[in-house]
Structure 1
Amino acid sequence: MLLLVAYDQDPAGRNMVDYLIQKMTKSGPIYRGESFDLVVLDTPITHADWLESKFDYDGFVFLSRHAAKSGVPALTCHSTGNFDEAMLGGNERQVAIPFPSLQKRYLKELWGVHERFAGFDITLEATHHGPTALSKPSIFVEVGTTPAEWNNAKLCHDIAAIVERTIIQHDDTTQHTVAVGFGGTHYPHRFTREVIHGRYSFGSIIPKHALQYIDENLLYHIIRRNPKTNVALLDWDSMGTNRRRILDMLNETSLEVVRV
């Protein structure tokens, strides 16, 4: 069973929680449901590396607000991890175990009703922030990008309903190939398109600006934390000066290297 997790000071997370708990029963700190449980923390979820010391689940879905300087409304999801310093939770040079199957199902489900979210970007984000130390798969599902969206109860309820449907539906993504992504911006549009319309799902995504931090030790750590991955998908035209160095390292691994 999965545990959904939100922070009580996050308005978007709280709004999603308010929708979901209508069908759940509270038992201590946990809201119990048929397909998943839910907990609201009094500390930021980006710092929830301690979660498994109190809660034993098969995976974690973090419900969160999304913030960006652009202010462009966005509905995003991503895996977590730090390729250099830990600026917002987690440990430095550590990535979490991603949740590629759930991520693909969620984005496809969201895209299937994208006309209801006119004006919103629907996108993956590159791997960033914490928590990073959990031993089970995890994913962030975010509503953004300003207080107007975070406090829009109907919007957050709609996203929560899609999360609920995604979890309940049968996992039909086993035929999809899981990849680790290299290159692109923080909002990797080629990888997003591949998840929604293509045959790949994604584990960790290392954007162009973080490729400088990838050395052999970190690369093999990323591979170990992506146990279902057998492909490295390269956004070849958006890898910058580190492209050849990354390619040479990948050619020494067991991953199939695919350029897009």
Structure 2
Amino acid sequence: MGRLMTTVVLLVACEGDEASASMLDALLKRDVMLPSHPVEGALAYARGQVRLWCRPGFHLDQDRLDERWSAATGEAVEDVLFLSKHAAASGRPCLTVHPIGVPHLHPDEAPPYGGRAGGAPPPSPRLARIWRALLCHANDVRIPEFEVSLEVTHHGPWQQAPAAFLEVGSTADTWGHSGAAEVWADVLLDVLNEELRGEVRQAAPPDVPVLVTLGGGHYAPRANHMASESRALLGHMLANHSLPFVRNDAGEVDGRWSQAVDAAIEASRAAHPQRSVVVSLDRKSFRGWERKALFDHL
């Protein structure tokens, strides 16, 4: 019989990203991750069932890292957590976490920020745990000027395995913030505690649902509140700008909103097989005919 593949959680840091480099440094200073064999010529570290891969370049160009890691090491990747910077015109200091994908784009479009047009990888099954662990640091003295928040699903890269981006924002003044990097190191060591010890992660009770949110702004206010107040697991979160509705003169509703909704639900279900998926709408963010189209579709 063939040997069973080891299943791992893959952390990805990129050399071209200031926040990523700072988060990597904070993790390595904890002396938890041990040097391993380079993969594709890039430095790698390991501990238990967790791997850390130091990639050249930038995150949005790193397609299919799950498959590439597996091909090089023989290990199956169950989750990819990208350590990254977050850029925003507001410039506000923040720590954010979000799933990835561009499910609203036409399949023939070239995504401006990576990914596969019309698609979304499964969200990390650890997304809710990461968010709640990060929320515990909202008043951390190391980051007095920072906010913490979820973000909605957006940008690439593309892969088959579940994924999430863990970010420090929002300008060059804060990307290398040592306190922010230390907080993320604490969150990761907390969330991956079992995996670092080589143990099986305890799953949430089977009756805990997966929450998919539709509507609202980029910083996912509905998901922020609901995921902090409940045991729910987090699926994809789509803002209004990722739900493009069109209505013609005859009142017929078109647009790629239904494509985006279907992709988000399918990917969220793939991240949490056997669980119920609950879809929550930010009703006030939709016009009446948009709400009706959504309800009819769901």
- Which amino acid is the alignment partner of residue 107 of structure 1? W
The aligned counterpart of 2:132 is: 108
Distance in 2 (CA, whole Å) between partners of 1:103 and 1:75 is 14
Mapped contact 2:14–2:58 kept (Cα < 8 A): yes
Aligned CA distance change for structure 1 residues 121 and 214 (closer, same or farther; 3 Å): farther
The aligned counterpart of 2:78 is: 58
Report the CA distance between 1:159 and its aligned residue: 1.4
The aligned counterpart of 2:54 is: 40
Relative to its length, the structure with more helix (as a share) is: 1
Q: Deviations over 1:143-192 (max 9, x none)?
A: 11122221112321221221221121554644532121100101111210
Superposed counterparts of 1:177-188, under 5 Å:
177-188=209-220
Q: Deviations over 1:92-147 (max 9, x none)?
A: 11111101x41111121122232113332211111000023x22111111011122
Report the CA distance between 1:43 and its aligned residue: 2.7
Which runs of 5 or more structure 1 residues have no equivalent in the other structure?
251-260
The aligned counterpart of 1:130 is: 156
Report the CA distance between 1:226 and its aligned residue: 1.7
Distance in 2 (CA, whole Å) between partners of 1:88 and 1:214 is 18
Matched, 1:226 2:268: yes
- Which amino acid is the alignment partner of residue 42 of structure 1? P
Aligned CA distance change for structure 1 residues 139 and 204 (closer, same or farther; 3 Å): same
Superposed counterparts of 1:188-199, under 5 Å:
188-199=220-231
Report the CA distance between 1:218 and its aligned residue: 4.2
Report the CA distance between 1:75 and its aligned residue: 0.9
Matched, 1:205 2:237: yes
Mapped contact 1:74–1:145 kept (Cα < 8 A): yes
| TM-score normalised by length of structure 2 | 0.77
Distance in 2 (CA, whole Å) between partners of 1:204 and 1:62 is 16
Report the CA distance between 1:208 and its aligned residue: 1.1
| TM-score normalised by length of structure 1 | 0.88
The aligned counterpart of 1:31 is: 45
After superposing on structure 2, the runs of 4+ consecutive aligned residues of structure 1 that deviate more than 6 Å are none
Distance in 1 (CA, whole Å) between partners of 2:204 and 2:228 is 12
Report the CA distance between 1:237 and its aligned residue: 1.3
Mapped contact 1:102–1:167 kept (Cα < 8 A): no
The aligned counterpart of 1:236 is: 283
Structure 1 counterpart of 2:90, from 70, 92, 103: 70
Report the CA distance between 1:47 and its aligned residue: 2.4
Report the CA distance between 1:242 and its aligned residue: 2.4
Matched, 1:246 2:294: yes
Mapped contact 1:105–1:173 kept (Cα < 8 A): no
Distance in 2 (CA, whole Å) between partners of 1:245 and 1:63 is 37
Q: Deviations over 1:22-52 (max 9, x none)?
A: 3222221321122411011113212222213
Distance in 1 (CA, whole Å) between partners of 2:22 and 2:213 is 32
Aligned CA distance change for structure 1 residues 234 and 109 (closer, same or farther; 3 Å): same
- Which amino acid is the alignment partner of residue 129 of structure 2? R
Q: Deviations over 1:5-36 (max 9, x none)?
A: 01101111111111222322222132112241
Mapped contact 2:212–2:236 kept (Cα < 8 A): yes
The aligned counterpart of 1:256 is: none
Which runs of 5 or more structure 2 residues have no equivalent in the other structure?
1-7, 71-76, 195-200, 245-254
Mapped contact 1:194–1:201 kept (Cα < 8 A): no
Distance in 1 (CA, whole Å) between partners of 2:95 and 2:148 is 5
Aligned CA distance change for structure 1 residues 30 and 149 (closer, same or farther; 3 Å): same
